Amino acid sequence: MILASLVFALLAALLHVYIFTLESFTWTRPATWQRFGLASQADAETTRPMAYNQGFYNLFLAVGALIGAGCVAFGGAGTSAAVAGWTLILSSCGSMLLAALVLGFSGRKYLRATATQGTLPLLAVVLGLAAIRG
């Protein structure tokens, strides 16, 4: 369970680094803004500061999950590093999961994005909780 949770936390982190790249660096490229459902280049330019900021939120969540996974993997069972690692994983992946749920409640057209963003952190959290409980 521990290994599976760490793998899903790492995959969730990598996905959020990718989303960070889209939102913070390629937002005004047609392929990116169309993926996010914007109607025009003008809309992309108008929302660029918001997307840039949102991208960094995704990056920070990814960093938390990555550091947490490292602490669990290299800290040893029962150590303070492992406790800190699980705290980071559950907090970061839990936040990713909750953000995905908020997206899903925003409208039916976001259900695919909700599944994409929420599945990996959900698995990391569920398997992590199962691993902790023993």
Interval 17-30: pLDDT, tens: 999 999 999 999 99
Average pLDDT, integer, range 88-114: 96
Q: Which pLDDT band holds residue 46 (cuts at 50, 70, 90)? A: very high
Task: Identify the pLDDT of residue 91.
Answer: 98
Tokens of 30: 């047609």
Q: Please, are residues 17 and 59 in contact by the beta-carbon 8 Å criterion?
A: yes
**Statement: residue 76 has pLDDT above 90:** no
Domain ranges within the chain, ordered by starting residue = 2-20+53-133
Alpha-carbon distance of 131 to 72, in angstroms, equals: 11
Alpha-carbon distance of 128 to 133, in angstroms, equals: 9
Q: Which pLDDT band holds residue 134 (cuts at 50, 70, 90)? A: confident
